Structure 1
Amino acid sequence: MKVLCGIIEKDGLVLITQRSESMSQPLLWEFPGGKLEPSETEEECLVREINEELSIDITPKQRLTPASYTYPDKIVELIPYTCAFKGSEINLLEHLRYKWVTPGALASYTWCPADIPVIKTYLQLLQG
């Protein structure tokens, strides 16, 4: 299953979201996103999912290396993009909470397993 996630950047900070108790992987942190539909591009999926989950607009910028993770019930190919935050108020429609954090603080949160290699790839990108 292909899942897109957005590493949404604003003023040197990154948006992270915490999954609610009712979601799979409850209370773990993730980069927001969702499942790719057959009729859409990766960028269209990301824009749609972020808008559906958070009511915000983003611009996908750079595709990073995908990460595969095998959960007990499915295999996820997580496809990350760095994204620009285009403004508007965040409205949590699925998640419990969100935070804007520095890239250096990402490792201090408890992440969904599929997101962990994405963090490493993102930090390597920032270090050039």
Structure 2
Amino acid sequence: MQVGPLGRPELRGALSISVSVSHARGWILAAIAKRARIGVDIEVVTAVFDQASLVRRACNGVEVDAIAAAPPGERRALVADLWTQKEAALKAHGRGLRDDPRKVHEDATNIIRLRHGITGLSACCVILPAGENATADLRS
């Protein structure tokens, strides 16, 4: 493994293989894809996802409206899901949080959503384009 010019992990000598890694509080999410770009993010769903400042910084108008319309008990998980999807997409595009997350709109066919409700985890894998031999795994 090595770090690419924009901070993305790369497999040394394997240019057709895309790698993405994320970790949160003892959990790790890693994915590899052949002939596709891949990005993953995992987050523990905590009160940080209740913060209005995060919603303003990360969500576009349609998403803000959807969050406001959601039942109060579901908003935190919805914001976490949107965040993990956006961060995974930005990683797949190779830019990470250098780009504005409010501008991220991924086709649902490119998204693999992973959920582990018992521990309150939100995780997402985005594949651009949906490549063959792509996999994601959630482990503690």
TM-score normalised per structure 2: 0.30
Larger radius of gyration: 2
Structure-1-length-normalised TM-score: 0.32
